[in-house]
Every structure is written in structure tokens, then in C-alpha cells.
């Protein structure tokens, strides 16, 4: 009994450390991607419709780089037994370049994009190793619950960081405090990650690389083997395809929320921070409420409900004319996005075969990164091209043309969500759950030799 009690305490300590890391890295997402740097880069560093275009390109480049290297990172995570060490490297990269964004001022387009891309690569790359540690603290029966708790606490961490920087930006005018908030965020992220590096004892042991292999070749062989294995589970593949599409819509909304607020409603930096706080609070509520609905309604129905709520938010956003209404729309979007993202992660656990959830979560993560650069790049391109058309062809002022470009780009978000929703309706969740208990065909690859 004493031994079991000790194991329970160790598991609790590891989970707390894992949650605290999410608490910190969500602050990066809240400040850099949502509330502060996206709007600062678009409005102050670049300006005009070109700012939206370059922001979309920067996000897309970072996502594409991580998508390409994810298989290699996954192989390193599986074989090196040093997930925590590599998590530290990428976390340090994210924190360092987030802090260096302080030096980005008006007209510093190159370093503004470069430092952000490197910070984003660090942030997204670290998540490969962070997510790979989830199976060490949760089994198939509670992996969805543990993941959901981490999501909710992470959103709360983002809110707290925004509450720290909000008074400073309100009190002190100018861009100095806006830029200093990025340093504060980097420190917040770094401090919150300390329990992970001190208290999380990695259980994996290093494995010897097969003869004639290196991490590069092994990473892509592993990925291909997992794709072939996942192909034996048709409903799982159909779900992943739908996720690739509707998740791009979510990424577009997240990465351009503050830019939409600034361009369409003239929201200042303090307004944008308050807006994102509202979104993050309802994000916590959405993760909790919709997460519990999975047990009552099933994963697919809950996910469909979440996407429909997000589509409603996008429709309302397109027609919204005032900042006040935009706050209510953001609250609805935050609630819906939490359901989409947290329930999607839970669906992987529900549809994965027993004993292979970690491998299928890895495939899910790689697949998501492979597509996630498309949406933001398209959004930025649509916003820029439509604005140029209205200004040059229809003779609208630069301000009105840019607003028209943003509204056209908002429509593209809805297109991704609706196509992804249509693909999701073809998934047979009951059949997929039954397939989990069917052993793979003997000819299916189970490992890389």
C-alpha cells in the first residue's frame, strides 16, 4: 500500500508539472499570437493591408518548418530517452526569441518576422515533446480528462499573464510597454516551465538506433509506418481528414482575431487585451462544459455542436458593426474553439486502438501541423488581395479597402469550418469505437525494423 501511495504521489507531482507547463506556454499564445504582438506587428511594424499579408506568411512559414521537422523530432523523442532535455531546448528557444521581440520597432519588418518565426518554431517544436509526455501521466481511460484539465489550466494561465500586462499598458502610453510585455511573457513562460524540468522524471529509456539509420530517415520511416497502420482504421483517418480542414479555420480565427478587432473596430491595445481575456475565460468554460458533454452525447456530436457554434460566431463576426458586439462574438468563439480543440484531442483517444494511443496522438499532431500553415497564409493573402482590389479598382480609401479585405477573409474562415464539418459528418464514431478492439491485420507494420 505504501508503494502504491508513493506511486500516486509521484504521478500527481508529474501531472502538476505537466499542467504548469501548459499554464506558461498558453501565455505565449495569448500574448504573442492573440492579444499583443500580432496587432503590434500588423499595425505598428508594417502597417496597412500588407501587415495582414506578412503576418499570415510569418505564421505559415513557422508552421511549415515545424511540420517538416516534426517526424524527426518525434523519432528523437521515441529513441533518445531525452524528451525533457529537448523540451528544454525548444522552450528556451521560444522564450529567448519572444523576449527579443522587444527590440522590434516600426519598420523593423525583417527582424520582426525572423524573431517571431524562431519563437513560434520553439513554441510549436516544444509541444511535440510536451505532448509526447502525456502517455506517461495518463492511461487510455483518463487521457482525455487529463488533456482537458491541462487545456483549461493553460487558458487560465494565459488570462493571468494578460491581467499582469494590462495595467502596465493602460498606465504607460507608447509602444515601449507593449514591447516590454513580450519580455514579461517570456519570463512568465520560463518560470512556469521550471516544475516540468525539476519535478517531471522521464520514464523512457534511450533506445539504440537500428543499424544504418539516423534520426532523419527513421523519423520519416516511423511516420510512414504509422500512416499505414492508421490506414487500417478507416473512421480514424476520416476524422483526421476532417480535422485538418476545420482546424485550419480555427487557426485562422486565432491568429487574426486581434487584427480583425484593430482593423474593423479601431480597437486599441488595451481593448484587444481585454478582448482576449474574455475569449480566454470563455475558452476555459468551453473546455469544461463541452468536455463533459462528450460522456453524454459522444465525441462526434459534441464536436459538431462546437463547430456549429464557431460557424455562428464567424457569421456574426462578418455582420458585426460595433466593438461591443465584437466582444460578445469573441466570447462565443472562445467557448466554441475550446470545444473544437479539446474534444478533437479527446476523439483521438476514443478512436485509437488500445495500447497505441501515444502513437496515434503523434500522428494526429504531425497531421495537424502539416496543414496548419495553409489557413493563416490564405487568410493573409485574401485580406491583402481584396483590399488592393477595392482600393485600386473601386477607388475606396485605404482604410475602407482594408476593412473590406478583412471581411472577405473572415468568409474564408467559415468555408474551412463548413467543409471540415461536412467531412466530419461521414465519421461513424460507433464503428470506430468497435474497431478499436479489432486487432490489426498481421500484414500491417507494427514497428520500424
| pLDDT given for residue 439 in this prediction | 41
87-96 b/e (C-beta count within 10 Å ≥ 16 → b): bbebbebbbe
Higher pLDDT, 397 or 288: 397
SS3 175: coil
Residue 36 has pLDDT above 60, yes or no: yes
Q: Which residue has the higher pLDDT, 30 or 214?
A: 30
Cα 371 from Cα 375, distance rounded (Å) = 8
Question: Is pLDDT of 27 > 90?
Answer: yes
Percent of the chain with pLDDT over 90: 45
Residue 98 has pLDDT above 90, yes or no: yes
Domains and CATH numbers, the chain: 13-199+214-435 (1.20.1250.20)
For residue 431, pLDDT beyond 60: yes
Q: What is the pLDDT of residue 132?
A: 75
Q: What is the mean pLDDT of the chain?
A: 84
Q: Which residue from 252, 226, 440, 446 is spatially nearest to 348, judged by alpha carbons?
A: 226
* Predicted local confidence at residue 128, as pLDDT: 77
**Per-position DSSP letters for 367-384, written without gaps between them:** HHHHHTTHHHHHHHHHHH
Which of residues 166 and 294 earns the better pLDDT score?
Answer: 166
The mean pLDDT of 332-343, rounded to a whole number, is 88
Model confidence at 160: pLDDT above 60: yes
d(Cα 77, Cα 71) in Å, to the nearest integer? 10
Task: List pLDDT tens digits, range 346-401.
Answer: 787 777 766 566 567 667 777 776 667 788 889 999 999 999 999 998 888 888 99
As a whole number of angstroms, the distance between CA 198 and CA 196 comes to 6
* H or E element that contains 112: helix 109-132
Determine the pLDDT at residue 187. Answer: 97
Tens digits of per-residue pLDDT, 45-88?
998 889 999 999 998 898 888 878 877 777 777 677 778 888 99
Taking the C-alpha atoms of residue 185 and residue 191, their distance in angstroms, rounded to an integer, is: 10
Q: pLDDT digit string (tens) for 300-326?
A: 899 999 999 999 999 999 999 999 999
Per-residue confidence (pLDDT) for residue 438, from 0 to 100:
43
For residue 437, CA distances in Å to 144, 352, 440 come to 18, 10, 9
Instruction: Read off the pLDDT of residues 186-223 as tens digits, 9 standing for 90 and up.
Output: 999 999 999 999 988 877 677 777 777 777 777 777 77
Predicted TM-score of the model (pTM): 0.82
pLDDT at 64: 86
- What is the pLDDT, as a whole number, of residue 358? 58
Closest CA to 27 of 104, 121, 98: 98
Residue 328's pLDDT band, with cuts at 50, 70 and 90, is very high
Amino acid at each position: 500500500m505504501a508503494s502504491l501511495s508513493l506511486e500516486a504521489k509521484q504521478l500527481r507531482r508529474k501531472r502538476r508539472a505537466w499542467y504548469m507547463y501548459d499554464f506558461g506556454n498558453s501565455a505565449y499564445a495569448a500574448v504573442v499570437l492573440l492579444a499583443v504582438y500580432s496587432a503590434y506587428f500588423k499595425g505598428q511594424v508594417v502597417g496597412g493591408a500588407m501587415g495582414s499579408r506578412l503576418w499570415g506568411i510569418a505564421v505559415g512559414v513557422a508552421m511549415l518548418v515545424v511540420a517538416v521537422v516534426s517526424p524527426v523530432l518525434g523519432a528523437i523523442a521515441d529513441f533518445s530517452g531525452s524528451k525533457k532535455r529537448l523540451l528544454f531546448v525548444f522552450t528556451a528557444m521560444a522564450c529567448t526569441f519572444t523576449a527579443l521581440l522587444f527590440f522590434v520597432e516600426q519598420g523593423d519588418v525583417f527582424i520582426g518576422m525572423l524573431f517571431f518565426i524562431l519563437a513560434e518554431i520553439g513554441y510549436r517544436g516544444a509541444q511535440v515533446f510536451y505532448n509526447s509526455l502525456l502517455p506517461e501521466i495518463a492511461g487510455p481511460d483518463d487521457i482525455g480528462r487529463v488533456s482537458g484539465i491541462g487545456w483549461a489550466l493553460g487558458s487560465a494561465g494565459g488570462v493571468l499573464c494578460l491581467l499582469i500586462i494590462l495595467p502596465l499598458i493602460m498606465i504607460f502610453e507608447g509602444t515601449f510597454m507593449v514591447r516590454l510585455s513580450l519580455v514579461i511573457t517570456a519570463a512568465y513562460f520560463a518560470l512556469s516551465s521550471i516544475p516540468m524540468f525539476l519535478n517531471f522524471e522521464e520514464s523512457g529509456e534511450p533506445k539504440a538506433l537500428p543499424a544504418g539509420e539516423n534520426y532523419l530517415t527513421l523519423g520519416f520511416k516511423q511516420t510512414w509506418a504509422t500512416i499505414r497502420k492508421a490506414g487500417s482504421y478507416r473512421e480514424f483517418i476520416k476524422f483526421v481528414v476532417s480535422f485538418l480542414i476545420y482546424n485550419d479555420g480555427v487557426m485562422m480565427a486565432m491568429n487574426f482575431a486581434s487584427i480583425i478587432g484593430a482593423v474593423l473596430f479601431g480597437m486599441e491595445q488595451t481593448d484587444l487585451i481585454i478582448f482576449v481575456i474574455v475569449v480566454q475565460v470563455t475558452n476555459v468554460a468551453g473546455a469544461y462544459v463541452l468536455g463533459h458533454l462528450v460522456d453524454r452525447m459522444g465525441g462526434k456530436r459534441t464536436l459538431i455542436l462546437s463547430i456549429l457554434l464557431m460557424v455562428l460566431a464567424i457569421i456574426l463576426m462578418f455582420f458585426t458593426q460595433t466593438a461591443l458586439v465584437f466582444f460578445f462574438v469573441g466570447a462565443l468563439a472562445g467557448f466554441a474553439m475550446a470545444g473544437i480543440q479539446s474534444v478533437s484531442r479527446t476523439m483521438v483517444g476514443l478512436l485509437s486502438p488500445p495500447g497505441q494511443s501515444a502513437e496515434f496522438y503523434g500522428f494526429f499532431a504531425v497531421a495537424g501541423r502539416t496543414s496548419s500553415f495553409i489557413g493563416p497564409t490564405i487568410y493573409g493573402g485574401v485580406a491583402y488581395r481584396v483590399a488592393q482590389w477595392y482600393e485600386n479598382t473601386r477607388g475606396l480609401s485605404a482604410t475602407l479597402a482594408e476593412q473590406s479585405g478583412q471581411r472577405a477573409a473572415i468568409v474564408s474562415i467559415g468555408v474551412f469550418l463548413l467543409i471540415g464539418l461536412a467531412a466530419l459528418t461521414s465519421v461513424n464514431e460507433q464503428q470506430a469505437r468497435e474497431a478499436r478492439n479489432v486487432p490489426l491485420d498481421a500484414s500491417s507494420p507494427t514497428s520500424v525494423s
